[in-house]
Structure 1
């Protein structure tokens, strides 16, 4: 999930010429889906993956030509054949993948860094790229959630595109190709969202692997605890933010929303109860509590634990030790987030 954020971070500091590769269409099944992107730099460095390793070598060979010519193009990889000479190389992926290759020139880089700025501020952005009959990009435009436009588009975007952009959130996460009659052309559409945030209340030793794994998976991680001795940056080098303070102090600073996932793991019963009481009336994407269901019930003074609270936090995989527990919790957070998106799209399809 974090490839685009890693790519934008690299573009923000790198002076190398590079090519942005994006899956814009999948027919059948494939390892990665529409919207997956990677950056291929002139020195051979690659950020992200489009496949399980089947395509990257061929894409790297094409980079010098794309940079030299300065023209985007779409390459189709048919992964459906199962012989060793095909792109599927015996994997039987059963899909054809359309990959858009774009040289990252000065203007595109500037617009991608503008995209980064919006995402860093927590503002979602929708991108549209108009394709020619030979599947190169002729125009592109970005529109932020607060209706700011930037990009390179010839003339005013037609009403049909403006109507789509105004409904971007309601139309769901439908990355992919759409035909616009007003343009007599296909347009590739992609939605970019800020990094999901994980807030970990509790800075004990068992929080360290959870913070590290979540950061590697693309989450922006905040750690909060009232004990200064536990909140050293050296303990949590992957955290984006470390807050020291009592529960009411730290929660006031966080501006939590339904985009956030929260785990309570202080190992202090009274502090857990304080955190829980302050979080119960907030809309969160995930709220998990470390410890047994019986302990969580005691946090609720013996009453039933609401179904939406994950207790004990983590998928039931028989986890042992901090690392396995961290993996089970992160897997449940990802699962919950994916199901929320799937449910939203399914509801839209029924209306």
Structure 2
């Protein structure tokens, strides 16, 4: 989502009467690649671009192709094959061993564009957004064309294709992708010979970290969360903190207003008050939510003591799978900044369904493949 935000900011600061622009989006990946489907870059005809579709190796060629697409006012689908040894193939020698399809769509500032849809996704409440981008078609589909982007809000929103067969087939594919939380291309070969290829993009809300504490080590954690483009809510007494220091947090919530915090399946709690009684009181609150990650700073015996004392008071809780105590990955962190890194890394691993171990120990490919 941060890349989208950066692209929107760059486009907003651009003068469309003097500068043309195009949006390049990775819509299909076969094999390995540095970026995955949904990676984007805004390309301007003055040679400036924001975002990226690779590690820097394909952006130069994408700029040339984007200028041509802008001159022709016509979207184009480009395939980069890094598996071939053909000296004329852009990307040869990269060693990525993958095939990447990139859709380059000129932006017409006088018409509703993908920029408008992306802006709506960023500005709306926390929810999963589903965008459909037409990448290939053969035959007539209710006047639609390659490069068109549309927002899926349910079966009814697919009426734009003007075909019940397409609606039923595409709706089934979208629901399957959403259930898996994945963005991927979909191809429909219709009985009448028509062909439709669409990039189904699933954009979940960014991770939301609720930090319960107000000591100095909260600050580097909030800064790192902000750098990632995530959301940070700090639960602390406003009278005991310097508000300017929390300027990068999305919200500063007094403990008495804990119930006002919106919690979803992308929310993580980090209890780091450095006060035993405060963390003990906050643990049942966090466990009372549906947040999939609850981290407690400090040694394991400290958390076990909390559970024991709460049980003696008639509050029975279990250190279930979603409780991470001590919080953070084992990277040998000692400074507040290193501890923040270990905490954020574990949150990312859990929300991604990974175990946080070294990639060199992973037997499967880094990214899920079809």
TM-score by length of 2: 0.80
**Structure 1 residues 84, 154: CA separation in 2 closer, same or farther (over 3 Å shift)?**
closer
Shift of 1:168: 5.5
Question: Is 1:184 paired with 2:195?
Answer: yes
Q: 1:242-272 CA distances to partner (integer Å, 9 max, x unpaired)?
A: 22x22xx232110222221111111121111
Q: What is the RMSD of the two structures over their aligned residues, measured on CA atoms?
A: 3.1
Shift of 1:166: 7.0
Asked whether the equivalents of residues 296 and 311 of structure 1 are also in contact (C-alpha less than 8 Å), the reply is yes
For residues 200-211 of structure 1, the aligned pairs below 5 Å read 200-211=211-222
Total equivalences in the alignment? 335
Residue 320 of structure 2 is aligned to residue 306 of structure 1:
yes
Match of residue 46 from structure 1: 49
Deviation at 1:319, TM superposition (A): 0.5
Maintained 8 Å contact 1:221/1:240: yes
Return 5+ residue gaps in structure 1 as ranges.
342-351
Match of 1:126 among 119, 130, 141: 130
- Check 1:43–1:224 CA distance in 2 against 1; reply closer, same or farther (3 A cut): farther
What CA deviation, in whole Å up to 9, does each residue of 1:272-298 have, x standing for no partner?
112112111211121111111111112
Matches of 1:122 and 1:147 in 2, distance apart? 21
Q: Compared with structure 1, are the counterparts of its residues 202 and 148 closer, same or farther at alpha carbon in structure 2 (3 Å cutoff)? A: farther
Pairwise CA distance, 1:172: 2.0
Correspondence for 2:250: 240
Closer/same/farther in 2, CA of residues 340 and 12 from structure 1, 3 Å limit: farther
Looking at structure 1, the residues matched to 28 and 127 of structure 2 have their Cα atoms a distance apart, in angstroms, of: 26
> Superposition pairs for residues 8-19 of structure 1, below 5 Å?
8-12=8-12, 14-16=14-16, 17-19=20-22
- Structure 2 equivalent of residue 26 of structure 1: 29
| Distance (whole Å) between structure 2 residues aligned to residue 220 and residue 41 of structure 1 | 29
CA distance in 1, matches of 2:220, 2:242: 15
Partner secondary structure for residue 218 of structure 1? coil
Query: 2:103·2:135 contact (CA, 8 Å) conserved in 1?
Result: no
- Alignment equivalent of 1:339, drawn from 316, 334, 353: 353
- Contact 1:82-1:92 at 8 Å conserved across structures: no
CA positional deviation for 1:130:
2.6
CA distance in 2, matches of 1:286, 1:87: 43
Match of 2:362?
Answer: none
- Secondary structure of the residue aligned to 2:246 is coil
Q: Partners of 1:25 and 1:330 in 2: how far apart? A: 29
2:259 alignment counterpart: 252
Q: Secondary structure at the match of 1:101?
A: strand
Once the two structures are overlaid, the 10-residue window that deviates more, 161-170 or 118-127, is 161-170
SS of the equivalent of 2:351 reads helix
Instruction: Verify: 1:276 aligned to 2:276, yes or no.
Output: no
Distance 2:168 2:110 in 1: 25
Classify the secondary structure of the residue corresponding to 1:235.
helix
Corresponding position: 1:137 with 2:151? no
Output aligned runs, 1:102-113, within 5 Å. Answer: 102-106=105-109, 110=113, 112-113=115-116
CA pair 130-22 structure 1, distance change in 2 beyond 3 A: same
2:181 to 173, 184, 189: 173
User: Kindly tell me: are residues 176 and 138 of structure 1, through their superposed partners in 2, closer, same or farther at Cα, counting changes over 3 Å?
Assistant: same
**Pair 1:20–1:220, CA change in 2 (3 A):** same
1:41-96 deviation digits (Å, cap 9, x = unpaired): 34433222221111112212333222222211011111124698754453311111
Q: CA deviation digits over 1:292-322, x for unaligned, max 9?
A: 1111112212676333211111101111101
Q: 1:122 to 1:240 in 2, by over 3 A?
A: same
Gaps of 5+ in 2: 139-144, 312-317, 356-370
Asked if 1:160 corresponds to 2:163, the answer is no
Aligned position for 1:4 = 4
**2:70 corresponds to which residue?**
67
Aligned equivalent of 1:291, options 292, 295, 298:
298
Query: Quick one: distance in 2 between partners of 1:297 and 1:44?
Result: 58
Question: Aligned partners of 1:114, 1:148: CA distance in 2, in Å?
Answer: 18
Mapped partners of 2:172, 2:270: distance in 1: 36
